[in-house]
Structure 1
Amino acid sequence: MTLSPSGWISNYADALYAYAKPRVNDAQLAEDLVQETFLSAWKAREGFKGEASEKSWLFTILKNKIIDHYRKKSKEIIQTGSGQDATDIFFNGAEHWTEKDKPMNWGIDGADNIQQKEFYQILENCKKKLQQQQQAVFVMKYMEDMDADEICKALNITSSNYWVLIHRAKLGLRACLEKNWINLK
């Protein structure tokens, strides 16, 4: 398989942007990451082995650019506390809500596309309200499907710091969604 760099922008720019934007919550940053993806791909084009499709290769580069963005940001942020945190009481060892603390039924019908769009817009707005490092951990875990060890390594944080961040992200999103979506229904 050979690369076709002349068609990258017309063939993949919109899809790459659509992938990046919800992961970084910033339109300009998403555009920059897509441009960096194309630049990195251009520089690495001689090393392309054709083991994946051109599209998959570009998406992999973008995914790594997003992780690098959060890795850089994590170095700029002072790590939050470590060890046992008061938020630990809300979750069990499998990262699920405890029975007494689980969120109320949100009553969202998956068949209603308009309602889904509204929900995802509110979720994006709520995600923006998280602290940068909480947002990074949330995106890597639930949007990039990375495991805790990978996230800790990528962000250079401890396991206990990871758990504090993911718990606080869940609590923050829960509170924001209940305030801005569930209680408005």
Structure 2
Amino acid sequence: METQNIWNNFNEELYFFILKKVKNKAITNDIFQNTFLKIHKNLPQLKAEEKARAWVFQIARNEIADYFRKESVYVEKLSINKEVSSQELEHFCCFDKFINELPHIYKEVIELAYIEGKKQKEIAEQINISLENVKARIRRAKSILKKRFNECCKYEIGENGKLTGPSNCAICDTTT
């Protein structure tokens, strides 16, 4: 299995998993990036392809646990040098933009569920729609985000079949 395959199969679900746990976009991006760096670095250790999902999510859980153990260090690092942090996370720059561009009905449920950490039942009561409608809106929002993210931010694949270099992002490349 290659890093690109893991990215294609798990990036969206993994991002939202982390976001739901830490409830902060900037920290989520940091943990998300660290998780994929570790996945890429340790991919030869994955012996059974059918265990990829569990392996990927265990790496993410470890990164989340590390964050909570070192939370004060992360906060201090971000507050001391925000510019460096944003440069390190540059290839995920589009995600916040794509969330902000979602139609209001989708953006609202994504922010309530993943930024504020509310349960879907609470969201349904808060915005006065059915639980099924909340679930449908979240699925649709994720689908839109995944499509936008995959269309915009492409990576080059090296001769060895692994991800190389920065993303080939249409937005980042025009703003830098």
Which TM-score tier does this pair reach, normalised by the shorter chain?
Answer: 0.3 to 0.5
TM-score under structure 1 normalisation?
Answer: 0.39
TM-score under structure 2 normalisation?
Answer: 0.41
Task: Report the structure, 1 or 2, having the larger strand content.
Answer: 2
Greater gyration radius? 1
